[in-house]
Amino acid sequence: MSNGVSWGPDNPHPLSRMKTELVWEGKYDEYGNRRPVKLPTLPLPLQRIETIDEPRDREKAQQLSIFNEAAFHQQAHRDDFRNMLIWGDNKLVMAALLEQFRGKIDLIYIDPPFDVGADFTMQVQIGEEGEAVQKEQSILEAVAYRDTWGKGTDSYLHMMYERLTLMRELLSERGSIYVHCDWRMNAFLRQVLDDIFGRDRFLNHIIWAYKTGGIPENVGFSKKHDDILIYTKSDTPVFNQLLQKSYVPTLPEPTTISGKQLGVQRDEVCELCGVGRPGQKYRNVIMRDVWDDIQSIFRNDQQTTGFDTQKPEALLERIIKASSNEGDLVADFFCGSGTTLAVAEKLGRRWIGVDLGRYAIHTTRKRLIQVQRELHAADQPYRSI
């Protein structure tokens, strides 16, 4: 029904002037205003910090409050920084970190849940026989599932928007963020990141094509890759160019027909290439955005911790080497089994890890203590600076 308003070139309809934008329930209020990220006005007691670093005198690490700065620096390392593993809602944790770490984190990698219908219930392997028990949700996890994952894609996007906004505030001017996702949330998260960082801050879309895992589809092609979206805080991010080996396909033996040799001799192919595996030749080329040389975690892999979504250390090693330098601060706010933190520790980076899952924190803590013991045994410092 017409309301008496005449739309046209002299009076354009509001819809004709809208820009391309991803809109979800909760992004705008009832008056059309952008909803700000709501932060707590007071520190919450549920946030606890545990400093995993073992001091050089091998004293037992103590639990400290995130807001107790004097105690935080009590057991100083070479650079007066102690790595942090925090159990709690990462939105609240990041809000608490802003005062001290705004603009100071050099690299953020996150691997948030891909499936908006997922909860925190999981099978946990115990003992050497591979027996499994059901790990139920804690109260914190149950509340988070109900409020963010339990309401579908809209609530998931709003949850990610708020947290990515805080991550941008924590990034240094030369910092980068890597967001790991898959086909379910790729398109949505790309638009959310464009909204927060700007399209001109998009750096790369990495395809991690693992050759193992995945389930063949009855209809369609088997899904065998994940996506990693990279955005930067400025146009001058830290980036260390990496090289990869590009192998020359092995040619078949020359064939002789009627006394004539067909084909090309192997030693005549690609003379400028180096020698790869026996009988194979390769050249070092600048790394491309398709990574098909890193395998996913096998169940019997030495790295495995029992997490279904655990990522291989080789993947995080590549990311950390590319977008940070020794001594830089690396953060993972969905740290899961602690792969990012373990690799950062080995590569001499400082780190902050956060997770809502009780089992994740327990697994990460155990893993990091083992990494530090191995570094001690090898007489390697945590950080050489």
What is the distance between the alpha carbons of residues 82 and 64, in angstroms, rounded to a whole number?
11
pLDDT per residue over 171-181, tens digit each? 999 999 999 99
Residue 81 has pLDDT above 90, yes or no: no
pLDDT per residue over 179-233, tens digit each? 999 998 999 999 999 999 999 999 999 999 987 655 677 888 888 899 999 999 9
The conformation of residue 15, written as its DSSP 8-state character, comes to: G
Provide the CB-side half-sphere exposure for 129 (13 A, CA).
3
- Residue that has been written with the tokens 């100083």 in this structure: 76
Predicted pLDDT at 126: 42
What is the distance between the alpha carbons of residues 41 and 96, in angstroms, rounded to a whole number?
10
E strands of the chain, at which residues?
A: 48-50, 63-64, 84-87, 105-110, 122-126, 131-135, 171-181, 202-209, 225-232, 243-248, 255-257, 260-262, 274-275, 281-286, 290-291, 329-332, 350-355
Q: Does residue 125 or residue 281 have the better pLDDT?
A: 281
pLDDT per residue over 19-54, tens digit each? 788 988 889 888 888 899 988 776 554 455 566 765
Predicted pLDDT at 190: 96
What is the distance between the alpha carbons of residues 60 and 53, in angstroms, rounded to a whole number?
9
pTM for this model (two decimals): 0.80
What is the distance between the alpha carbons of residues 383 and 289, in angstroms, rounded to a whole number?
30
Question: What CATH architecture applies to the domain 43-239+288-377?
Answer: 3-Layer(aba) Sandwich (3.40)
| Domain definitions of the chain by residue range | 43-239+288-377, 243-286
Predicted pLDDT at 66: 45
Predicted pLDDT at 125: 45
DSSP characters for 84-136? EEEES-HHHHHHHHHHHHTTTEEEEEE---S-TT--S-EEEEETTTTEEEEEP
Predicted pLDDT at 273: 43
**DSSP helix/strand/coil, 149:** helix
